[in-house]
A and B are shown apart, each in its own frame.
Chain A
Amino acid sequence: MSESIMPIAVLFASIFTSNILLTNYLGMCSFLSVSKELKTSTGLGIAVIFVMATTTPLNWLVYQYLLIPFGLEYLRFIVFIIVIAAFVQLTEMTIERYSEGLYQSLGIFLPLITVNCAILGVSLFMVIREYTFLTSFLFGLGSGIGWFIAIIAMAGIRQKLKNAKVPAGLEGPGITLVIAGFMAMAFMGFTGMITLS
């Protein structure tokens, strides 16, 4: 399967046609809670790109060279989570070291990256779709960029929305989901350009 898809096509497909957030609903929790502010969203988005682009090929190596030779494929959930958690810790320390302000504004959300479904999801998709090393890197990178674009767009829209009158019951998560629905429809416009599965 992996031979038939060009690696670069995977990159674009994971950004547009198979956006991890808008077509697979992954990473919704942090998406809904963080997208209130553009600045925080940018920070988290970049962190997600970094973590996805690094953990996916890393998990690929672990899966191919550790889990398969020892017949431990069923342990992949636990192993992937550990790799991801270690990397998130690294990201957290890096941000804390270089950008005090960003660290403050991201606050409790950085540890939440570990339980961000999208990160683990990308690694699991990578296993199921039998990607090569290069393809998994591009897939991770593309999915991160896709998530970034989605949260930035959402944060921009939500800032404008502050001045709008929204029915009381729809305020907050409700209206965010409606917008996400429209965004998903907009992204469906890319369907057919490249297909992934």
Chain B
Amino acid sequence: MAVKSSNIASTKNRQQSVVRHQASGNFLKAVSAVVWKDLQAEFRSRELFSAMLVFSLLIILIFNFALELDLKTRQSVTAGVLWATFAFAGTLGLNRSMAIEKDRGCLDGLLLAPVDRSAIYFGKVISNLMFMLIVEIIVLPVYSVLYNTNLFLPGLLMVILLGSIGYVAVGTLLATMSVQTRTRDILLPILLFPIVIPVLLAAVKASDGFLAHAELSEILLPINLLIAYDIIFLAVAFMVFDNIVEE
């Protein structure tokens, strides 16, 4: 009993010590912490970024040599080739991003933090989106040179941003699911591509419209669809993420 009393007393003393945990945590601070951690780790290893970039460049090179198209046809396939490139490279990045969390048990470390678990999801979405956008920024001028097509159109850049948000929003959620399975490398694309088809279709349609200098009224529908998909995917992921990460 004496031992127990002294233990309780020392517990109380400790509770009055300098450090005291903040039970509530803070959503935005947690989101920014996850983003900071991902950027810092990637800055050191460059594993994820270099894999995505090299893979993207290889795809556009292969398409360039394989298709041998004339200028007009090249322009007409640009949207499709671009989005196929982004989708494949994105899968590689999403898989790697979550594998890093799983391999050393870090996902458990994240889940043990006293924050709303959707903060972890949004943190991962933002960092994955940043990696994807950086790769896209590098791929676009390379594509422009190889295919002799101007891709620096404000409307097209906006579509790339919207499409990437939708892709990463659903991809991060599914990568979190697939990384917990033994077949994670092959499971992610099998799960992701059927679900992300609406985003890719709308993005290709809208990109095609901007590249063909179509009327805004013709492009508005796919853009609205992209915005709607982004909101829906983010909202659904926000609601189900907690259940997905729990056993």
Q: Do A and B come from one complex?
A: no
